[in-house]
């Protein structure tokens, strides 16, 4: 070989001619002709597998025999058309070649060589090679598209499967080689096979026409039944058809679930709304029938409007601001808000709002739940009035009782003074329990408190300061981190105060208040060195059922339990020294907190 394979866009011509005269003429002509790049080799080249790359080769019979093994191997490996132009002095040279050599020849020229005719022959063969290569690349692209298509595809001829892609293997649950030649209808439910036959028979020649002939059938596969929409189109290769399938099983099941969810929402016993914050003013895009019943508005009237149209003159600005802050912070919130019906009547609405996030955590909607709690609020108001009246009467009457007891305490008879002391202790205890009941009323009044993200360290610090203000000599010690944000409300402080006071009254100093912040739970513990809570009063930690007989020790520890459980916390007791009560609260991630 005289030259390596040229790096060029020109047509690369390999000259492998053993006749020296013909070879010299051809080499000079190729070298001097524009658009061609020369690769020259001697007749023995190629035997060792060193044949260079080329687009067309000019050979005589001896030269072709020399390079025949590698040309044949390259044709079978690369597939594209690889033209050979035979240059021989004898007109019958082609016919004298063995058949296995003759099949490699694509054209023949006989000296004397006319340059114009030779160029025409070479250019024609080169164009055929380029077209063949383009066709091969196009076929490869279509094969890749066929194989990598996400939906199942089959090539079917006379109803039998010739080929299918990876998605079709997944649909049938079978390897393509295992089903090649099997009838496609054998994988279709019996009642749908006639539908399949009609679609295959009516297959059009263009995809645009096939869309109107899509049908739905059930494929029965090794992995179960699959509901598929399919169509067919002629490929132009005899009776061959391309069958396009779309597995609808998951979509149909998803639509069924969505329909179930929608019907459940439509028929729910509480009001349900959905808003879209991506639209101006975060309007409602859904409201169920119960919401319409509560508010008096038709569902069509509220779609496209912000929920604030339910507010009125006496709606609390603070409650509205609390809602606004939670929505701006993309946090859930629960409030009881005074709203107004379409006819102007006010009602108390127990409203829960929570953000709905997509797969990447972005808020796409807000879900609202509404309950008309007007009667409950009114009942609570009546109980509040009754509570104040009873406490006022108890306090006044007990002041009279304690006054008489004080007079008895001045009696000279020791027995009388002892009775007076018992009356005084009982009266003062009754007054204390009355005060605890008042404080508890504020705790259980759900309309007055809202769960928020709060710093438990700040809450506990305030509670300790309140106790020390009332009892400056009390030995209360704290072990707090810098910050511990939990889900809580203002009533938690009341429970902590009660717990510390109980330890001071019935335990032994020092009283230690400790906070341990964890990833999921934050624990507040109160310990003392006393003998612990009497066994008869520990039922507050051991039972989930509250009965009047279980409150014999007063409402103090129950108050602690109620304030803790109210915010989703838990209470426990450890009698081993030091005796310890633990309150566990849900930890809130600092980035999500506005505490």
Q: What is the CATH number of the domain that holds 45?
A: 3.40.50.2300
Tokens matching residue 498? 């009660």
Are 540 and 557 in contact by the 8 Å Cβ rule? The answer is: yes
Which of 412, 444, 476 is a domain's end point?
Answer: 444
At residue 45, the pLDDT reads: 52
Same domain, 287 and 400: no
User: Does residue 508 carry a pLDDT above 70?
Assistant: yes
- DSSP of 48-68, one letter per residue? TS-PPP-SEEEE-HHHHHHHH
Is pLDDT of 112 > 50?
yes
Is 310 part of any domain? yes
pLDDT at 145: 82
* Predicted confidence (pLDDT) at residue 212 exceeds the cutoff of 50: no
Residues 247 and 296 in one domain: no
Task: Determine the 3-state secondary structure of 348 from DSSP.
Answer: strand
Q: How many of the other CB atoms lie within 10 Å of CB of 231?
A: 22
CA distance 269 to 296: 15
Two tokens, residue 586: 């849900």
- The domain tally of the chain equals 5
Rg for the chain, CA atoms, rounded: 46
Give residue 250's pLDDT. Answer: 85
Predicted confidence band of residue 4 (pLDDT cuts 50, 70, 90): low
- Asked if 135 and 167 sit in the same domain, the reply is no
Three-state DSSP class for residue 196: helix
Residues 433 and 502 placed together within one structural domain of the fold: no
Contact 82, 76 (CB under 8 A): no
Does position 42 have pLDDT exceeding 80, yes or no?
A: no
Q: What is the pLDDT of residue 6?
A: 59
The answer on 424 and 459 residing in a single domain is: no
Higher model confidence: residue 204 or residue 582? 582
**Contact predicate 529/580, CB 8 Å:** no
Q: Give me the mean pLDDT over the 306-331 stretch.
A: 94
pLDDT higher at 440 or 468: 468
Nearest to 570 by CA among 555, 556, 583: 583
The verdict on 74 and 132 lying in the same domain is yes
Which residue did the predictor score with more confidence, 447 or 457? 457
The pLDDT-based confidence of 439 (bands split at 50, 70, 90) is low
Q: Are residues 44 and 166 in the same domain?
A: no
pLDDT at 335: 92
Q: Which token pair is 554?
A: 């007063």
Query: Do 577 and 482 fall into the same domain?
Result: yes
509 vs 384: CA distance, rounded Å? 38
Q: What pLDDT shows up at residue 276?
A: 96
* Secondary structure letter of residue 5 according to DSSP: P
More confident residue, 292 or 433: 292
Spatial contact of 353 and 333, defined as CB atoms under 8 Å apart: yes
**Residue 380 Cα distances to 264, 336, 385, 546, angstroms:** 31, 13, 9, 20
Judging by DSSP bridges, how do beta strands 107-109 and 224-234 pair with one another?
Answer: unpaired
pLDDT of residue 226: 87
Does 94 fall in a domain?
yes
- The pTM (predicted TM-score) of the whole model is 0.49
Contacts of 522 (CB under 8 A, 6+ apart): 456, 484, 486, 515, 516, 584, 585, 586, 587
Least confident of 292-306, 421-435, 487-501, 545-559: 545-559
The confidence score (pLDDT) of residue 237 equals: 83
pLDDT of residue 537: 77
- Name the least confident of 16-30, 44-58, 293-307, 408-422: 44-58
Q: What's the average model confidence in pLDDT over 254-267? A: 89
Same-domain status, 45 and 121? yes
CB 226 within 8 A of CB 218: yes
Average pLDDT of 505-515? Answer: 91
Q: Which residue segment(s) compose the domain that 140 sits in?
A: 11-144
Q: Give the pLDDT score at 594.
A: 45
Percent of the chain with pLDDT over 70: 89
Q: What tens digit of pLDDT does each residue of 144-191 get?
A: 888 888 888 899 898 899 898 888 888 888 888 888 999 898 888 888
Same domain, 457 and 508: yes
Burial bucket for residue 163 (CB in 10 Å: 0-12, 13-18, 19+): middle
Give me the mean pLDDT over the 526-540 stretch: 83
Q: Is the pLDDT of residue 358 over 50?
A: yes
265, part of any domain: no
Tokens of 306: 């912000």
Is residue 65 over pLDDT 90?
Answer: no
CATH code for the domain of 500:
3.30.565.10
Q: Are residues 453 and 438 in the same domain?
A: no
End residue of a domain, out of 372, 401, 419:
372
If pLDDT is split at 50, 70 and 90, which confidence band does 441 have? low
d(CA 427, CA 433): 10
Residue 443 makes CB contacts below 8 A (sequence gap 6+) with 449, 491, 494, 495, 559, 562, 563, 566
The stretch 27-49 carries a mean pLDDT of: 75
The predicted structure's pLDDT at residue 206: 65
Does 104 map to a domain? yes
Torsions phi, psi for 86 (to 5 deg)? -85, 125
Residue 469, domain member (yes or no): yes
pLDDT the model gives residue 455: 93
* 119, 144, 169 - which closes a domain: 144
**In the 8-state DSSP scheme, what is residue 190?**
G
For the chain, what is the mean pLDDT?
A: 84
- Within-domain flag for 268: no
DSSP 343: T
Reply yes or no on whether the pLDDT at 46 is more than 50.
Answer: no
Residues 453 and 587 in one domain: yes
Using DSSP's 3-state secondary structure scheme, residue 249 falls into: helix
Alpha-carbon gap, residue 195 to 198, rounded angstroms: 5
Among 264, 291, 260, 259, which Cα is nearest to 275's?
291
For residues 131 and 404, what is the distance between their CA atoms, to the nearest angstrom? 121
The reply to whether 1 falls in a domain is: no
pLDDT of 8 strictly over 70: no
Bigger pLDDT: 537 or 343?
Answer: 343
Q: Is residue 6 part of a domain?
A: no
Average pLDDT estimate for 210-219: 72
Q: Map residue 335 onto helix, strand or coil.
A: strand
Percentage above 90 pLDDT, the chain: 29
Assign residue 299 the CATH number of its domain.
Answer: 3.30.450.20
């Amino acid at each position: 070989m005289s030259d390596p394979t040229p790096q060029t866009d020109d047509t690369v011509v390999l000259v492998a001619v053993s006749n020296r005269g013909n070879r010299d003429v051809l080499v000079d002509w190729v070298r001097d002709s524009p658009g061609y790049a020369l690769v020259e080799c001697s007749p023995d080249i190629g035997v060792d597998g060193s044949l260079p790359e080329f687009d067309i080769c000019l050979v005589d019979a001896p030269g072709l025999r020399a390079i025949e093994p590698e040309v044949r191997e390259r044709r079978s490996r690369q597939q594209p058309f690889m033209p050979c132009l035979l240059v021989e002095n004898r007109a019958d040279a082609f016919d004298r070649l063995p058949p296995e050599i003759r099949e490699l020849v694509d054209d023949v020229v006989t000296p004397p060589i006319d340059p114009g005719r030779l160029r025409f022959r070479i250019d024609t063969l080169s164009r055929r090679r380029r077209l063949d290569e383009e066709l091969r690349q196009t076929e490869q692209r279509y094969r890749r598209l066929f194989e990598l298509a996400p939906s199942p595809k089959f090539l079917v001829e006379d109803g039998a499967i010739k080929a299918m892609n990876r998605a079709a293997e997944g649909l049938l649950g079978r390897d393509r080689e295992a089903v090649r030649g099997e009838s496609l209808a054998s994988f279709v439910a019996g009642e749908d096979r006639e539908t399949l036959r009609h679609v295959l028979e009516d297959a059009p020649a263009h995809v645009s026409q096939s869309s109107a002939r899509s049908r739905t059938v059930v494929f029965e596969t090794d992995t179960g039944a699959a509901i598929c929409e399919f169509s067919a189109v002629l490929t132009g290769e005899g009776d061959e058809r391309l069958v396009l399938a779309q597995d609808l099983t998951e979509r149909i099941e998803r639509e069924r679930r969505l329909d179930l969810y929608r019907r459940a929402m439509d028929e729910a016993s509480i009001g349900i709304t959905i808003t879209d914050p991506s639209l101006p003013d975060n309007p409602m895009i859904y409201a169920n029938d119960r919401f319409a019943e509560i508010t008096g508005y038709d569902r069509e009237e509220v779609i496209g409007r912000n929920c604030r149209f339910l507010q009125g003159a006496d709606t609390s600005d603070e409650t509205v601001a609390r809602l606004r802050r939670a929505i701006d912070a993309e946090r859930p919130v629960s409030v009881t808000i005074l709203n107004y019906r379409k006819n102007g009547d006010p009602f108390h609405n127990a409203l829960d709002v929570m953000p709905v996030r997509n797969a990447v955590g972005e808020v796409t909607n807000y879900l609202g739940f509404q309950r008309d709690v007007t009667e409950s609020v009114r009942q609570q108001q009546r109980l509040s009035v009754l509570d104040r009246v009873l406490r006022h009467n108890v306090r006044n009457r007990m002041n009279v009782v304690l006054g008489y007891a004080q007079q008895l305490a001045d009696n000279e008879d020791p027995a009388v003074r002892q009775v007076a002391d018992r009356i005084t202790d009982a009266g003062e205890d009754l007054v204390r329990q009355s005060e605890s009941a008042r404080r508890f009323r504020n705790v259980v009044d759900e309309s007055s408190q809202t769960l928020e993200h709060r710093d438990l360290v700040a809450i506990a610090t305030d509670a300790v300061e309140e106790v020390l203000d009332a009892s400056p000599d009390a030995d209360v010690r704290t072990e707090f981190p810098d910050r511990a944000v939990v889900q809580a409300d203002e009533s938690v402080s009341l429970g902590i105060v009660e717990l510390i006071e109980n330890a001071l009254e019935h335990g032994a100093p020092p009283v230690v208040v400790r906070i341990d912040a964890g990833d999921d739970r934050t624990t507040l513990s109160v310990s003392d060195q006393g003998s612990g809570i009497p066994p008869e009063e520990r039922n507050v930690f051991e039972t989930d059922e509250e009965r009047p007989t279980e409150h014999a020790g007063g409402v103090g520890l129950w108050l602690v339990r109620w304030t803790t459980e109210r915010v989703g916390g838990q209470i426990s007791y450890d009698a081993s020294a030091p005796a310890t009560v633990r309150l566990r609260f849900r930890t809130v991630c600092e980035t999500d907190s506005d505490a």
